Amino acid sequence: MSQALCPQCKKPMQEAYRPFCSKRCADVDLHKWLTGGYVIPGGAHAEGDGEDETGGEGGLPAASAEWDED
Ligand SMILES: [Zn+2]
């Protein structure tokens, strides 16, 4: 039971996209965050919380263009 599953679609996780199985699932998750799909326990307003990633990862290019396709 060492196989991790994608939290989005429950397929086997891919190391390159962990904890997801694909870039698409990772983008879905990111999109949820950006659109407020996730509720942060004990903190309805997370604005100004200090979690600011200014060009840090580099693994998540702007996906807005892809989202317009579907
Ligand atoms: Zn997935």
Give the Å distance between the CA of 70 and the centre of ligand 1.
Answer: 17
Q: Over the stretch 8-45, which tens digit does the pLDDT of each residue have?
A: 999 999 999 999 999 999 999 888 888 886 566 676 55
Nearest to 66 by CA among 41, 21, 34, 31: 31
pTM above 0.85, yes or no: no
The tokens 């998540």 sit on which residue?
60
Q: Across the strands, what pairs with 12? A: 5
**Domain 1-38: which topology?**
Erythroid Transcription Factor GATA-1; Chain A (3.30.50)
What does the pLDDT read at residue 3? 84
Pairwise pLDDT comparison (27 vs 66), residue with the higher score:
27
For ligand 1, a single-atom ion, the residues with CB < 5 A are 6, 8-9, 11, 21, 25
Cβ-contact 38, 32 below 8 angstroms: yes
